[in-house]
A and B are shown apart, each in its own frame.
Chain A
Amino acid sequence: MRYLPQTKNSRAAMLEAVGASSIDDLYRDIPKSAFVDGKLNLPDHKGELEVERILGGYANENLSAANVPFFLGAGVYYHHIPSTVDHVIQRSEYLTAYTPYQPEIAQGTLQALFEFQTFVAKLTGQEVANASMYDGATATAEAALMAMRVTKRKKIVVGNALHPDYRAVLKTYLGNFEGCALTDGEPDNETACVIVQSPDFYGAPHKYETFRKICNETGALLVVVVNEIVSLGLLPAPVEADIVCGEAQSIGVAMSFGGPHLGFFACREKFIRQMPGRLCGMTEDADGKRGFVLTLSTREQHIRREKATSNICTNQGLCALAFTVHMSLLGENGFKRLARLNHEAACKLADAVVKVSGVSVRNECFFNEFAVDLPKPSKDVVEALAQRGIVGGYALEGNGLLLCATEMTTDEDIAALVSALKEVLV
């Protein structure tokens, strides 16, 4: 019971001060039927070593990207995280701080959030960004809801190959509103927004001019979704968009079996009062010194309650810090070089797999991920590769396979995949 500082004496002294006859006296308002009879049917407390043995054992049953050739992306990417990032986010002052509602004693978190917002705005070519969302899928859903508020329309059009998880989450969120429709294809005069992912789910980068033009004609907003944020070091910023949102896990945040990740949300300044999530703004203190506070909270549920722009409260603060530290280390030169290295790794991977008999690459264009066609059902191939100690990509319908390479991918990894594919595809 190493986390509990009270002693027999201190408990007795407090009980006496309270004037209670026993600890259960303090629970007198609770119906007897709700009390646990004795103890929960769970094991008793364990020491640190015992817990480490159990959970370490579980970890060892998983095939970690740290140990094997790894080609899986599809919205979650395996990148290198500099040691400095983890050191900073494990500092007590950041790790164990609360949401910065008391700005006088939370300037560290607040200034970091201000820098996070600046990084996101600059990367996405947008005027403003918020202090994070849960993940790319929920950020996309919130973008659609915001577009509905701004345009007072209820139709959402998906303009190209959106990540299937994002689409599913979008469908769930929209399902709560009567008269909402989620469709593919062309927008019309009732469309709230067109959602375009780039690179799309199959890895192809997109241009936005045509989408922008059709949005201008119909009055719909253009929402651009980016789920591999490293791509913005090589591809142009989506400046044509009204909202840019997505996933920033690639920078500073581990894959961690799906979370916590880092949703981001950026848009034009004229929409800030319709934005979901927390915003950090610059101001000054009573002595005239520059400082930062959470601001525009009149959008939020604490004040607006049922009229709030979103119900989002706790978000991904520490992941946003990790991103900010990693981006600070990368800088302009490092970020662009990282993007270039990712693209080159994917080029090498594409050139290698296409030489395997029966394999063809679908994409003409890609960033660090592309789809291939195999001569066999891809699910079986992925399973067979896993048995050979290779995490071999994302199985698409039928014989399609989505392959990804990052700066982590070595020439040896690619050679291992090629040789395993030759065995498996025989």
Chain B
Amino acid sequence: MSAEAKVIDMAYKIQQAEDGNRGLHYEENLLWEKEYSDEPGVDLPEPAGLASRTGVEVRGEIGLPNVSEPQVLRHFVRMSTWNYSIDHGFFPLGSCTMKHNPRLNEKMARLPGHAHIHPAQPESTVQGALKLMYELQSWLSEMTGLPGVCLTPAAGAHGELAGMMTIARAHEQKGNTHKKVVLIPDSAHGTNPATAVMCGFKVRNVPTGDTGCVTVEAFKEALYAESEDAAEVAGMMVTNPNTCGLFEKDIVEIADLLHKAGGYFYCDGANFNALVGKVRPGDFGVDVMHINLHKTFSTPHGGGGPGSGPICTSAELAPYVPVPTVVKKGDSYALEWEEDRPETFGRLKGFQGQFGMFVRALAYMMSHGADGLRQVSEDAVLGANYVLSQLKDDYHAPYAANGPCMHEALLTDKKQKEAGVTTLDIAKALTEYGFHPMTVYFPLVLPGTMLIEPTETESKDSIDRFITVMKGFAADIKAGDTEKFHAFPLSTPRRRLDEVKAARNPVLRWA
């Protein structure tokens, strides 16, 4: 070991021994492990000492640390450095649409006239907010080709629930009490069957064919599995483009068959980014769909929410959506509630939805406009096809021979698995090389799937770097250099975490 190396080694050991910090890599304890201050990180006025009128005893010790403001700020800033984010780099997370989050949207949501208004204020004092919601409804309606819009659902899965309850309510109002079965392709996201069950439906699976799509034959078989006229079928839940990244080619014919049987077509809108501004779901047979404002319309994911999942419906289903919706009456705007909409299935959320997300999404839509949104779709689809064209010889690309994909490319680990390297290993290797992994092991229709969605906000240069790294992995694995893949990642704030231990002996809070 050289003298220089020895010094470095020694310094490293000192640091490791002390607190693990090195260079810009920081360790940070839990808040409860800090040295407590006498006073907290806020200065509040001294209470006047009035006699309590709560009628109950006074709260005892809660067990919270008092920590000064600089300590709190450093705590959360240090922890933030352990996170990967879209502002760090490429985030090819299929079906999740991790695109650029414009800061203008944040600024607009924080204007006092948006942030500090209460949902129960008199309508005369919130006309600007109601106008904003009305305008968002209009944009969504025009983009989907579906005239009914309800903004209240809080996230994608909540939008699914709203959509399926709308269908349930429509059947109930029409006296179709026998319609209790929902058809769902096996490529669907797990929220789809979970939602159907929450609405009291029974799930009937439709197998996905070798092409990655639902064929008319397979659909018919499922539709008429129990009766000649499919009288028990209430509807279907189909993601289109589907979770294999493909447009369901036979969707119009499938939707016709369903409609003839008296069923409604619910479209999971998770993949709307492939179509926005270019293709309207209402024009390929959709009766109701949800929109993830936190995917297609760029409201930030925030490490797991808040999202927002408005639903758009056909004119036929519009009366049944949850309340409230915003209507325009002359020059003013108003919320419509149960008394105005007697056929609604009711309320699905407190108050009128994730308004802060509405502001962000509308700011994004206005920034792009009709011309920009079409370009969003085209660049997203082009980027995914480019990835597919460059990697289809290095990885198994099950559907590449059948034609183009939409906004996401599907690969599997079939070739690499023969050498003992799995999709999980490739995902972890990507983190070592400064990328967020793609969506892994989803969809479930094939083993070891990798779903890659570049989105329109990555440059070709950025996509090329990803392709180069992925090609490098494939080459290393082919050459037998596989050992390292089981050890990756090495340089991340933590290495592979023991998930079995976490589940077997759950520790969910500090003592």
Given A42-B139, A76-B118, A102-B84, A259 and B304 contact (CB-CB distance below 8 Å): no
Of B61, B119, B122, which one neighbours A383 at CB under 8 angstroms?
Answer: B122
Closest A residue by C-beta to B30: A115
The reply on B23 being an interface residue by CB < 8 A is: no
Of A114, A255, A305, which one neighbours B118 at CB under 8 angstroms?
Answer: A255
A-B contact pairs, 22 of them (CB 8 A): A3-B372, A57-B128, A61-B127, A61-B131, A62-B117, A84-B72, A91-B80, A104-B495, A121-B508, A134-B154, A234-B54, A236-B56, A259-B355, A295-B508, A301-B190, A311-B195, A328-B72, A331-B37, A338-B42, A343-B54, A382-B122, A394-B120
- A314-356 CB mask vs B (1 if < 8 Å, else 0) is 1111110100010111111111111111011001101000000
The reply on B129 being an interface residue by CB < 8 A is: yes
A257 touches B118 (CB 8 A): yes
Residues in B86-109 with C-beta less than 8 Å from chain A: 86-88, 91, 93, 96, 98-102, 104, 106-109
Among A7, A96, A205, A291, the most chain B Cβ lie within 10 Å of the Cβ of: A96
Residues in B485-511 with C-beta less than 8 Å from chain A: 487, 489, 492-499, 501-503, 506-510
Q: Tell me the bound Cα distance from A261 to B44 in angstroms.
A: 24
Residues of A within 8 A of B366 (CB): 43, 46, 50-51, 54-55
> Which one of B7-15, B45-53, B412-420, B476-484 is at the A interface?
B45-53
Measured between C-beta atoms, what is the minimum distance from A52 to chain B in Å? 7
Q: Tell me the bound Cα distance from A112 to B510 in angstroms.
A: 12
Q: Tell me the bound Cα distance from A394 to B458 in angstroms.
A: 48
Closest B residue by C-beta to A2: B367
Among B84, B157, B362, the most chain A Cβ lie within 10 Å of the Cβ of: B84
B86 touches A96 (CB 8 A): yes
Q: Tell me the bound Cα distance from A114 to B28 in angstroms.
A: 13
The 4 closest A-B pairs by CB, nearest first: A59-B113, A318-B302, A61-B128, A365-B55
The reply on A308 being an interface residue by CB < 8 A is: yes
Closest B residue by C-beta to A404: B118
Residues of A within 8 A of B303 (CB): 94, 97-100, 106, 108-109, 112, 317-318, 321
Residues in B226-280 with C-beta less than 8 Å from chain A: 246-247, 249, 251-252, 277-280
Given A59-B111, A279-B508, A332 and B125 contact (CB-CB distance below 8 Å): no
Residues of A within 8 A of B347 (CB): 137, 165, 168-169, 172
The reply on B437 being an interface residue by CB < 8 A is: yes
Residues of B within 8 A of A391 (CB): 118, 121, 125
B357 touches A5 (CB 8 A): no
Residues of A within 8 A of B31 (CB): 115, 328
Residues of B within 8 A of A107 (CB): 79, 82-83, 493-494
B492 touches A332 (CB 8 A): no
The reply on A407 being an interface residue by CB < 8 A is: yes
Q: Tell me the bound Cα distance from A52 to B110 in angstroms.
A: 12
Closest A residue by C-beta to B138: A42
- A5-36 CB mask vs B (1 if < 8 Å, else 0) is 11100110111011110010111111101111
Of A72, A106, A279, A310, which one neighbours B121 at CB under 8 angstroms?
Answer: A72
Of B53, B110, B193, B403, which one neighbours A306 at CB under 8 angstroms?
Answer: B193
Of A108, A205, A386, which one neighbours B56 at CB under 8 angstroms?
Answer: A205
Residues of A within 8 A of B310 (CB): none
Q: Tell me the bound Cα distance from A366 to B143 in angstroms.
A: 49
A331 touches B67 (CB 8 A): yes
Given A94-B302, A134-B155, A301-B193, A75 and B350 contact (CB-CB distance below 8 Å): yes
Q: Tell me the bound Cα distance from A367 to B353 in angstroms.
A: 27
A366 touches B157 (CB 8 A): no
Given A30-B279, A204-B55, A315-B155, A3 and B102 contact (CB-CB distance below 8 Å): yes
Of A58, A64, A76, A340, which one neighbours B112 at CB under 8 angstroms?
Answer: A64
The reply on B408 being an interface residue by CB < 8 A is: no
Residues of A within 8 A of B116 (CB): 64-66, 78, 254-255
Q: Number of residues in B with C-beta < 8 Å to the partner?
A: 199
Q: Tell me the bound Cα distance from A18 to B382 in angstroms.
A: 8
Closest B residue by C-beta to A171: B346
The reply on B2 being an interface residue by CB < 8 A is: no
Residues of A within 8 A of B122 (CB): 382-383, 386
A20 touches B346 (CB 8 A): no
Residues of B within 8 A of A235 (CB): 54, 56, 59
> Which one of A153-161, A280-288, A412-420 is at the B interface?
A280-288
Closest A residue by C-beta to B404: A26
Of A75, A96, A135, A280, which one neighbours B154 at CB under 8 angstroms?
Answer: A135
The reply on B445 being an interface residue by CB < 8 A is: no
The reply on B142 being an interface residue by CB < 8 A is: yes
Of B85, B349, B458, B496, which one neighbours A286 at CB under 8 angstroms?
Answer: B496
Q: A17-B390, A94-B80, A232-B62 are in contact. List 15 more A-B contacts (CB 8 A).
A: A3-B457, A6-B383, A35-B278, A51-B104, A51-B363, A61-B127, A61-B128, A62-B127, A128-B509, A135-B154, A293-B497, A304-B190, A308-B194, A314-B301, A319-B305
Q: Tell me the bound Cα distance from A286 to B494 in angstroms.
A: 8
B190 touches A95 (CB 8 A): no
The reply on A56 being an interface residue by CB < 8 A is: yes
Given A90-B106, A257-B114, A261-B350, A306 and B375 contact (CB-CB distance below 8 Å): no
B493 touches A104 (CB 8 A): yes
Residues of B within 8 A of A90 (CB): 106
Q: Tell me the bound Cα distance from A382 to B101 in angstroms.
A: 39
Measured between C-beta atoms, what is the minimum distance from B432 to chain A in Å? 9
Residues of A within 8 A of B104 (CB): 48, 51-52
Q: Number of residues in A with C-beta < 8 Å to the partner?
A: 209
Measured between C-beta atoms, what is the minimum distance from B21 to chain A in Å? 13
> Which one of A175-183, A189-197, A211-219 is at the B interface?
A175-183
Measured between C-beta atoms, what is the minimum distance from A238 to chain B in Å? 11
Tell me the total A-B contact number using a CB cutoff of 8 A: 690
> Which one of B197-205, B214-222, B313-321 is at the A interface?
B197-205
The reply on B425 being an interface residue by CB < 8 A is: no
The reply on B65 being an interface residue by CB < 8 A is: yes
Of B37, B161, B369, B460, which one neighbours A45 at CB under 8 angstroms?
Answer: B369
Closest B residue by C-beta to A260: B306
A93 touches B80 (CB 8 A): yes
Of A114, A176, A257, A317, which one neighbours B305 at CB under 8 angstroms?
Answer: A317
Q: Tell me the bound Cα distance from A119 to B350 in angstroms.
A: 24
Q: Tell me the bound Cα distance from A57 to B126 in angstroms.
A: 12
Q: Tell me the bound Cα distance from A207 to B166 in angstroms.
A: 39
Of A46, A171, A279, which one neighbours B369 at CB under 8 angstroms?
Answer: A46
Residues of B within 8 A of A163 (CB): 350
Residues of B within 8 A of A108 (CB): 79-83, 303
Of B66, B82, B503, which one neighbours A295 at CB under 8 angstroms?
Answer: B503
The reply on B428 being an interface residue by CB < 8 A is: yes
Measured between C-beta atoms, what is the minimum distance from A352 to chain B in Å? 13
Q: Tell me the bound Cα distance from A340 to B119 in angstroms.
A: 26
- A240-255 CB mask vs B (1 if < 8 Å, else 0) is 0000000100000011
Closest A residue by C-beta to B350: A137
Measured between C-beta atoms, what is the minimum distance from B359 to chain A in Å? 7
The reply on B345 being an interface residue by CB < 8 A is: yes
Q: Tell me the bound Cα distance from A87 to B194 in angstroms.
A: 37
Of B32, B198, B302, B367, which one neighbours A311 at CB under 8 angstroms?
Answer: B198
